[in-house]
A and B are shown apart, each in its own frame.
Chain A
Amino acid sequence: MANLKEIRGRIKGVKSTQKVTKAMKMVSAAKLKKAQDRMLALRPYAAKMKEIIENVTSVVNVSDIPSKLVEQRETKNVLMVVVTSNRGLCGPFNSNLFKFITQFIDKNLAEHHKNGSLHFVCSGKKGYEYFAKRKYNVIGKAADFDILSNLTFERAEEILGHVFEGFEEGKYDQVYLCYNEFKNVMAQERKVDLLLPVTVDKGGEEVSGPKADYIFEPGREQILTDLIPKSLKTQFFRAVLESNAAEQGARMVAMDAATENAEALVKQLKLSYNKARQAAITKEILEIAAGADALEG
């Protein structure tokens, strides 16, 4: 039987851990609300952007767009842009994404990985640590592409600027964006999306022309050249916001589970504590009784 003092110490320890996890859960809940609001704030912009692009592309040939970002090339070098969290204690949030990415690489990009033409840009410290440790080709330092500590559209632009540059210079021929999409508080969906080259979605056959007889100023091609990077930035920014919200959701769930586990552990410890106490008392009484017997005898 473990001794009383030891158990008492453990109970105390578990209880204080529980306090921390409970607090973290509440903090995440508050942050989640904020993160969701930001996601909602982006939605009108993103939706309108998509609509305008569809309007313009419905009358343009992709090959006419004088933007390098739509160029389809032989896939020699691939860049993965990985959006993760900066902090841990959010359950399987990051590790699930890593697993998903590794599977994706094994399936589609195994050769690139072997001959070293697979590059990584990690936005989020956890992703950086994971891939750098496993000797993947990670570009820059963790702080170079960090966006979570300064979650603004401007910062998203900055980061994607590097990516565009690399693509236009031919350093990468394909860029993937990997992130956790926010489904609901409990669930995230892991995503690997092709970011570059841009595939222009004509929106199906039924859209035969623009909704109205628009005047395009400047020409359609120029508008697209201008809008495509903007739309990609929006896409990236959305991914980051989604990931951010999903992270908070995941942390909330993980911390809730941790709090519950602590509760169960305390209960169990209390039981064994009481048992030990009972045993000690019984033992003492037996000793006293035995002593008294000896005196009388």
Chain B
Amino acid sequence: MLQIFKISGDSLYPFYKDGQRVICRKVFKDTKIKVYDTVVFEKDAYGMMIKRVRSIDDNTYFVEGTDPMSIDSRNFGALNLKEIKYKVLFKF
């Protein structure tokens, strides 16, 4: 299942820019997610977010933006796989 997202914000600059679009594939239990993959997930207080996976430990995924002030796992901790909704395939 594919989904297009439009990025709002520059926390992943220069890899992804504000206004850029990404095509993503839905994540299932058996989806392989690697370090440096970019993923889309939902956090209650923030809504749907996009960040890069910086490390994987005990099936939890620590995600970060490239900007030092990015809101990411440094704020809300590592993600479980079930929290990750989509994996980015490519940008355009």
Q: A and B from one assembly?
A: no
Q: Which residues of chain A have a CB within 8 Å of any CB of chain B?
A: none
Q: Which residues of chain B have a CB within 8 Å of any CB of chain A?
A: none
